[in-house]
Structure 1
Amino acid sequence: MSTLLIKNAKNIITMDGERRRFPGGSLYAVGQEIVAIGYDLPYETADTVIDATGKIVYPGLINTHHHLYQNLTRNIPFVQKTELFDWLVTLYDIWRHLRPEDIHISAVVGLGELLKTGCTTAADHFYCFPNGVSGELIDEEIRAAQELRIRFHPTRGSMSLGRSKGGLPPDEVCQDEETILRDSRRLIETYHDSNRFAMLRIGVAPCSPFSITGDLLRESAALARSYGVRMHTHLAETQDEDRFCLEKLGMRPLEFMEQTGWVGDDVWYAHGIWFNDAEIHRLGSHCCGVAHCPTSNMKMGSGVMPIVKMLGAGVNVGLGVDGSASNDGSNMLSEARIAHLLHNLMHGTTAIGAEDCLHLATMGSAKVLGWADDIGSLEVGKAADLFMIDSRQLGFAGALHDDGALPVLTGLSQTVDMTIVGGKIVVKDGRLVNVDEEKAAIQAQAASFRLLNEAALRTKIDYSRMRTEGKYPVG
């Protein structure tokens, strides 16, 4: 197995249980595993030796919620002033034209952005399967993750409740439940790795209460637990969702989850904004996790997750960037910063510190994904997943007083100097090692233009008016 030695670091921020720091420390890894960290290590050479003079080492960030395909539909003017349900209805008519090659290039872009901002593990929620297009779309995301060499946790999403059955999405992006369950089994049996230091794990993830049936939830839960994989869905994101569940189901969203078997320490939800106090207590009792996506929630005007109450109730909380159509980027350092600023505003400046937000993005997220034995902190026995920033950058001048808070509060370009996953360098000098960034960007933009052009030809969206007004460029 290959070996890695990082020496002479300005500081190593571990995010372990004691939040230890090692100023001037070193780290040694064999294969994926850290075998020594601290001072006076008995190792002088390795296959890869990094002199980290002036650089601060952090555990890799962990993204608990994303929709990678949405990288092709960000910064679109006509969905910038809409709330979630109207936003979804409009974008579904674009996403219905997705092709397998679109899924691959959007994943390259999104996962590449994550790596360049210190993220080493990413979960994704893919649920949009257009009729007449290959059902093996998550395979394209997996291929991209393997090319980039990021630790990946895709979840097989699904929508079965189309508009003709009283749901929100058009029927053209929904699937029948037999197809959904069959492909979920295929993905788990083909790709899921439950071993230590796995690079790929699969989850099961029906989309949301307004796009799935109770039967699909029950069957999905039974399937996931028969394979021992985790379960994920959107929940309590908007007040519209609350109203939908009360009108259509006669109950609130969390009660729907409880009645269909979707609670437990193997379940995590995205957003969790509109839980009441009693529900937050039940979440803690159930040991559920929640992916906090502050940037997306702010952009969509969805609300603010009651994070202080959740943490106080013992709910596992991690950070997620959400899809780039509601964030416009895949930047975990930015997400930690936004979380810090948002909760300073909402809960006061003593509630959630900058280093606490870094902890949410590392150990908090690892617990949400059920992966805390392997990742989330820099400790002996854990994976050598980390990123480094050079403290000698202009953006850090005058700020080198608290290295734990530093990347959350300062250095707002937020591209890291180096990212390492499983002991292998995947970002060097701020550039992706395994992918041509410019080529990927050009391909992704061409795919984005094609998607909107196809939507213009085949849907009722008035793109011709937007072109006349200069709001939509023709690719």
Structure 2
Amino acid sequence: MAVRPLDVDDRRIVIENAAIATVDAAGTEYARGHVVVLDNTVESVGDGPAPAGLAGVARRIDGEGHLLTPGLVNTHHHFYQWLTRGLAQNDTLFDWLVALYPTWARIDAELMHAATLGSAAALLKSGCTTAADHHYVFPRGAGDLLGASIEAVQQLGLRFTALRGSMDRSRKDGGLPPDHAVEDTDEILAASEAAVDRWHDASFGSMLHIALAPCSPFSVSTELLTLSSELARRKGVRLHTHGSETAEEAEFCRKLFGMGPTDYFESTGWLGEDVWMAHCVHLTDSDLAKFAETGTGVAHCPSSNARLAAGIARVPDMLAAGVPVGLGVDGTASNESGLLGTELRNALLINRLAGRPDALTVRQSLRLATMGGARVLGRQHEIGSIEPGKLADLALWKIDGLLHSTIADPVAALVLGALPPLTTLLVNGIPVIEHDHLTTADESHIARTCARAARDLASRT
């Protein structure tokens, strides 16, 4: 492929001799190829060594024994839950929420900053370069929780979609959250608009997007859903929520609204190409058809779905119908590993449990975690594949060690094998992981900070 003129004296990083899975539309792969990064974008990708005579090469990386992929994209998370891992170990969703809401409602900005450092660091160490965090608990007097999260993410160098979540339906209104854990509807709308105005950057290569994200049908009012969809479209940002996660949720919607979750969302303006929903485990054929027809996306969270016994989402059917699907970690109180890289393997294995060995292939799983996620977040023209002009969010996986050296297919080594170590992870062309360690923060310090924060939060309950 063509490169820019050789007299351009900008910073370049050259990666050579690696197996490359580009995850472009054609699924192009190179057994031994190269990628040239110029500043924060991919300049060229192709077979064999990089073009000779490149100017301004700041660094050459020998990719021998490695697989190079796009950075992974996490479409659903709850960073604050890093401080409440390992609790309510044997509960289904509703009981798990009731058990943990009282603790979550005591969080403040300092604890949020610590939790975000832990969550974001874990994601980076698992090959994730872009993440969407759904924060919906805003106790009064807690400080600037969204700002604390954004500051922590920027410190580590993760590309970020901050989801300004919300809850306004408490127990007294027939909802699930305790009364002290919700906000006033008008207050939510004002704070949501202010967050968009303050932080959302829609430019190419942006490191920070804002989306509006009322929590779920059982924790928000119909009014909030409707007005949030109108506000998001007026401001030009995306919409996110939880949908069809459990059978109990579907029963709740039928009892309260006289219809299932998808029909209810449709009635409030919550289907469309600018919307994605987490889980979607219990979609009917009619629901699935509506998602496909409207381009509504899905964040598939296989480990969390298993942890909470929610069921197995119909991912193969979604893909066959053309529904945009990406992967999500979900909160680390229901997926304690906090790693996105392991979700590739879990997505493949769980979707085969119904007895279909071809339900999901290793390359489909990689696509879910890259281009699938990019499409769900509306950033498919910027990230998700290795192509000239796209952002240099790249993961270089070491697959010639003990745990992977006998797997001839490099993509299978990543998806079916143990999560490989990262030799280099680039976000926006900047190395944030080198030889499996963060370059932007001290991991031991983050671990100690998070442990103290977890003890502090537990003591407040």
The answer to whether the 8 Å contact 1:145/1:152 transfers is: yes
The answer to whether the 8 Å contact 1:3/1:423 transfers is: no
Q: Counterpart of 2:449 in 1: which secondary structure?
A: helix
2:6 equivalent in structure 1: none
Q: In 2 relative to 1, CA 432–2 (structure 1 residues): closer, same or farther, beyond 3 Å?
A: farther
2:435 equivalent in structure 1: 429
Distance 1:169 1:419 in 2: 39
Shift of 1:347: 4.6
Q: Normalising to structure 2: TM-score of the pair?
A: 0.95
Shift of 1:145: 1.0
Instruction: Tell me the amino acid that sits aligned with residue 291 of structure 1.
Output: A
Distance 1:157 1:247 in 2: 24
| 1:110 correspondence with 2:119 | yes
Distance 1:130 1:333 in 2: 32
What are the residue-to-residue correspondences of 1:30-45 with 2, within 5 Å? 30-38=38-46, 39=48, 40-42=50-52, 43=54, 45=56
Q: Counterpart of 2:354 in 1: which secondary structure?
A: helix
Instruction: Tell me the amino acid that sits aligned with residue 215 of structure 1.
Output: E
% identity of equivalent residues: 39
| 1:298 correspondence with 2:306 | yes
| 1:272 correspondence with 2:280 | yes
What are the residue-to-residue correspondences of 1:325-474 with 2, within 5 Å? 325-399=333-407, 401-410=408-417, 412-455=418-461
Which consecutive residues of structure 2, in runs of 5 or more, have no partner in the other structure? 1-8
Aligned equivalent of 2:99, options 75, 90, 99: 90
1:63 equivalent in structure 2: 74
Q: Counterpart of 1:47 in 2: which secondary structure?
A: strand
Distance 1:243 1:56 in 2: 45
The answer to whether the 8 Å contact 1:9/1:57 transfers is: no
Instruction: Tell me the amino acid that sits aligned with residue 282 of structure 1.
Output: K
Distance 1:262 1:442 in 2: 41
Q: Counterpart of 1:8 in 2: which secondary structure?
A: strand
1:119 equivalent in structure 2: 128
Distance 2:374 2:15 in 1: 26
Which consecutive residues of structure 1, in runs of 5 or more, have no partner in the other structure? 456-475
Aligned equivalent of 2:329, options 321, 336, 340: 321
What are the residue-to-residue correspondences of 1:151-162 with 2, within 5 Å? 151-162=159-170
Shift of 1:179: 1.2
Instruction: Tell me the amino acid that sits aligned with residue 118 of structure 2.
Output: V
Shift of 1:330: 1.7
Q: Counterpart of 1:56 in 2: which secondary structure?
A: strand
Distance 1:17 1:405 in 2: 19
Distance 1:8 1:279 in 2: 46
2:199 equivalent in structure 1: 191
What are the residue-to-residue correspondences of 1:123-272 with 2, within 5 Å? 123-134=132-143, 136-272=144-280
Shift of 1:418: 1.6
Distance 1:327 1:60 in 2: 21
CA deviations over 1:263-311 (Å, ceiling 9, x no partner): 1000000000111111111110111000000000001000110112111
Distance 2:128 2:320 in 1: 27
Shift of 1:397: 2.1
Shift of 1:337: 0.4
Instruction: Tell me the amino acid that sits aligned with residue 81 of structure 1.
Output: N
CA deviations over 1:316-347 (Å, ceiling 9, x no partner): 11100000000002211111100111112225
Q: Counterpart of 1:298 in 2: which secondary structure?
A: helix
Instruction: Tell me the amino acid that sits aligned with residue 175 of structure 2.
Output: G
CA deviations over 1:232-277 (Å, ceiling 9, x no partner): 0000001111111111111111111111111100000000011111
Instruction: Tell me the amino acid that sits aligned with residue 440 of structure 1.
Output: I
Distance 1:209 1:293 in 2: 18
Shift of 1:112: 0.6
Shift of 1:72: 0.4
Distance 1:82 1:391 in 2: 37
Q: Counterpart of 1:25 in 2: which secondary structure?
A: strand
Instruction: Tell me the amino acid that sits aligned with residue 30 of structure 2.
Output: F
Distance 1:201 1:170 in 2: 30
Q: In 2 relative to 1, CA 67–433 (structure 1 residues): closer, same or farther, beyond 3 Å?
A: same
| 1:24 correspondence with 2:26 | no
CA deviations over 1:389-413 (Å, ceiling 9, x no partner): 12221111211x1112221111x25
Q: Normalising to structure 1: TM-score of the pair?
A: 0.93
The answer to whether the 8 Å contact 2:341/2:419 transfers is: no
RMSD: 1.3
Instruction: Tell me the amino acid that sits aligned with residue 428 of structure 1.
Output: E
The answer to whether the 8 Å contact 1:56/1:403 transfers is: yes
Distance 1:112 1:4 in 2: 26
